[in-house]
Structure 1
Amino acid sequence: MTDQTPKGPLSDLKVVEMGTLIAGPFCGQVLGDFGADVVKVEDPGKGDPMRQWGRSLPKGLSPWWPVIGRNKRSVALDLRQPEGRELALALIDQADVLIENFRPGAMEKWGMGYEALAARNPRLVMARVSGFGQTGPYSERAGYGLIGEAMGGLRYVTGEPDRPPARAGISIGDSLTALHAVIGVMMALHHRERTGRGQMIDAALYESVLSVMENLVTEYDLTGYVRERSGSILPGIAPSNVYPCANGESLLIGGNGDAVFARLAATMGREDLAADPRYATHAARGENQAELDRIVSDWTRNWPLPELLALLEANGVPCGRIFRAPDMLEDPQFAARQSIVEVDHPVFGKVKMQNAFPKLSETPGGVRWPGPALGEHTREVLEGLGVDAGRLAELAARKITALG
């Protein structure tokens, strides 16, 4: 059962989410986290594939779906059928925002391109998420997150220099694109406040990755330098690395600023390092990065991680453990800020997941319910559009919809 109590700064917004997997649905998740009424339109057969995704399926269910489907209402409609599209259009007519991440052209084939929808609902903000954008020679290609990460430049610079490009360990390209889509939605809604008109947001995977690639293109344009993989370091930034501890664990230390490095050197009992011309300045430490990292490593490996962490923190040296999920669940900082919350689930009983971020002082977001069952809200949503029980039963019998 869903908690319909308005929460968050977007509680007056109606959002229709169409599409599957991560990039589009994560955009809907963020809007839902901050109070928007997100109605997710899914295929009546299997729904979003995220319902089946995951390394393991406890109790036959994906542990991914409770997170990416949270705070949404599920409506099952077959968009391949005219009646399904008719009902989807009725939903969109009342919406503030539409999110879709089909391959470009699919919505137009269904009569749901932006121009057609804006003619019916001029205030509509339509976020279109795709691999390569709605225009250009690649626009109709299938584009998953890994392709966007590669084309946007992230994959090439990720990993160890003597190995092939690596991935980040999460679907970072999809998530970056979703966040760019959310930013676009917020800007478009601000524009609508002034003009009364909606607009289309065109969020491409490869461009969303490209946007966070710092000075990669400019540096090449001005100097001809191609940034390469550098493993756990940033070339020329030292000491800033992962350092070994006595118990086999590792600790991150960021001591690259002049004042911070002086504190690190004093903590090591090596005040001479801060005065040594090879390490006295940021540029000099960068030039002698490998040697400096060896010096720091020779010192850190004599310390068990807890003692080293406490010592560095006491002396104002930025440092941190490398967290895994168990560490997050045990950490007092996570607990104090409620970074992880526990949510009631109809099958799992209780399920832990990350909270809604960022934190707002007056209108915070939150997790009201986990990802719903397929079609769980079909009846309540369609009845809200004026569809009677007999018509719903007929649509369900013809598998145009599914009633949860």
Structure 2
Amino acid sequence: MPGPLDGIRVLELGSFIAGPFACRLLADFGADVLKVERPGSGDELRRWRRHGDEETSLLWRVLARNKRSLAVDLRTDSGRDLVLDLVEHCDVVVENFRPGTLEKLGLAPDTLRERRKDLVLVRVSGFGQTGPLSGQAGFGGVAEALGGLRELTGHPDRPPTRVGISLGDSLAGLHAAFGAVMSLLGRERANGGADGEDVDVALYESVFNLMESLVPDYDVHGVLPSRSGSRVPGAAPSGSFPCEGGQWVVIGGNGNAIFPRLMKAIERPDLAADPELAGNEGRVRREDELDAAISAWTSANDIGHVLATMADNGVPAGPIMTAADIVSHPHFAAREMVTSQRIGDRDVAFPGVVPKLARRPGATRWAGPELGQHTEEVLGELLGIGGGDVTALRERGVVG
């Protein structure tokens, strides 16, 4: 069954995570993503987090899955011309250069739309295409700081810390993919009469968009929330609790109906019956007491018993899992959230596709390709450039 984006072609320019993650999401659901990389070196992500003797990182294999790789030097006139020729066959261009770089390469929005009027151009950058910070370089960590996330990440008695993944980049990628699909839908509804759309995605804004009521709480009440560790600010009890044997479990008992069930599970009927704890405000005031009671019970039991007891009482709970836990977990397997892809001479566990569509689901068709693996294929298929001409371009350093 073809994916919902089957027939949509995307030209991916740029590197690292934000733009490539957006294009991976589109590729997962059927879009033909043509990733342009610099001949010789390719996307720097190919060499991030390599282990053992691998030449190409598995991080790259995941973020570039379902894409076709073209090695084209955008710094050459011929390389730029090839890209412009490809634009005529593409619905979307995604780039995540620093603002102004696309223009310096001779690929300004007006130039691209001379080739395809209804092109959707998705531009991902640290601070957006306008504003006083737009020209500055910006990575995901900087965006997390500027967008308000880092101030709230970690424990109150320690400095702000990083989330364990490149969250700011991935959030920008999600917004970029959403912007692309919205623009394609708008173009379709215009029945061919629409001009192209520019989608301006800033990493810091993608982070800020998830900051809930941070700004209105400050504006109205002067509230400046601080780091709260594993607790949920203003909602209790909820957090991470130790189990016997050194494992940890997350328990969410902060609903009015859930709280008495949690107290029953930890054998504290006295707290369940306390009228001051019937509502969230009273529980927040006595959060230390409640966390101590929960920890006393969990730490005296192994994690299996803790999880089973929470499930029996209808209390949301789950273990803090490692990669080793995930690849062997039956729920991940049942939901096809860990799949297998052939890389070299072995099968490799891969993350599955999200979200789940019932009728036209996405799929991982292949892992991230080798550098320039599809250059000749794509140039021949879309531009009619034959093998001899590709060889000539390769000899001139235009393609790899």
- Scaled by the length of structure 1, what TM-score is found? 0.96
CA–CA distance in structure 1, aligned partners of residues 319 and 276 of structure 2: 28
RMSD: 1.2
Aligned amino acid, residue 9 of structure 2: K
CA–CA distance in structure 2, aligned partners of residues 159 and 169 of structure 1: 11
What is the Cα deviation at residue 67 of structure 1? 0.2
Q: Is the 8 A contact 1:25 1:68 kept in 2?
A: yes
What is the Cα deviation at residue 348 of structure 1? 4.8
Identity %: 49
- 1:191 corresponds in structure 2 to 186
1:307 aligns with 2:302: no
- 2:215 corresponds in structure 1 to 217
Aligned amino acid, residue 365 of structure 1: G
- 1:115 corresponds in structure 2 to 110
- 1:253 corresponds in structure 2 to 251
CA–CA distance in structure 2, aligned partners of residues 60 and 107 of structure 1: 29
Q: Is the 8 A contact 1:242 1:252 kept in 2?
A: yes
| Counterpart secondary structure, 2:394 | helix
How many pairs were matched up? 396
Q: Is the 8 A contact 2:64 2:369 kept in 1?
A: yes
- 1:290 corresponds in structure 2 to 288
Aligned amino acid, residue 18 of structure 1: L
- 1:142 corresponds in structure 2 to 137
CA–CA distance in structure 2, aligned partners of residues 348 and 159 of structure 1: 41
1:362 aligns with 2:359: yes
Aligned amino acid, residue 209 of structure 1: V
Runs of 5+ consecutive residues of structure 2 not aligned to the other structure: none
Q: 2:2 aligns with which of 4, 7, 11?
A: 7
CA–CA distance in structure 2, aligned partners of residues 374 and 63 of structure 1: 14
- 1:328 corresponds in structure 2 to 326
CA–CA distance in structure 2, aligned partners of residues 194 and 360 of structure 1: 22
What is the Cα deviation at residue 270 of structure 1? 1.9
1:352 aligns with 2:345: no
Q: Is the 8 A contact 1:83 1:400 kept in 2?
A: yes
- 1:3 corresponds in structure 2 to none
Q: Is the 8 A contact 1:236 1:285 kept in 2?
A: no
Runs of 5+ consecutive residues of structure 1 not aligned to the other structure: 1-5
1:51 aligns with 2:46: yes
- Scaled by the length of structure 2, what TM-score is found? 0.97
CA–CA distance in structure 1, aligned partners of residues 266 and 120 of structure 2: 56
Q: Is the 8 A contact 2:84 2:115 kept in 1?
A: no
1:132 aligns with 2:127: yes
Tell me the alpha carbon deviations over residues 203-254 of structure 1, each in whole angstroms, 9 at most, x when there is no partner. 0000000000001011111111111111111233111011111222111111
- 2:241 corresponds in structure 1 to 243
Runs (4+) off by over 6 Å = none
CA–CA distance in structure 2, aligned partners of residues 102 and 244 of structure 1: 44
Question: Following superposition of structure 1 onto structure 2, how do residues 55-204 of structure 1 map, counting pairs within 5 Å?
Answer: 56-195=51-190, 196=192, 197=194, 198-204=196-202
Aligned amino acid, residue 351 of structure 1: V
What is the Cα deviation at residue 60 of structure 1? 2.9
What is the Cα deviation at residue 266 of structure 1? 1.6
CA–CA distance in structure 1, aligned partners of residues 46 and 276 of structure 2: 56
What is the Cα deviation at residue 162 of structure 1? 1.1
| Counterpart secondary structure, 2:276 | coil
What is the Cα deviation at residue 58 of structure 1? 4.1
Q: 1:376 aligns with which of 360, 373, 376?
A: 373
CA–CA distance in structure 2, aligned partners of residues 282 and 231 of structure 1: 19
What is the Cα deviation at residue 55 of structure 1? 5.2
What is the Cα deviation at residue 389 of structure 1? 2.1
Question: Following superposition of structure 1 onto structure 2, how do residues 255-270 of structure 1 map, counting pairs within 5 Å?
Answer: 255-270=253-268
CA–CA distance in structure 1, aligned partners of residues 52 and 130 of structure 2: 38
Deviates more, 1:184-193 or 1:381-390: 381-390
Q: 1:130 to 1:397 in 2, by over 3 A?
A: same
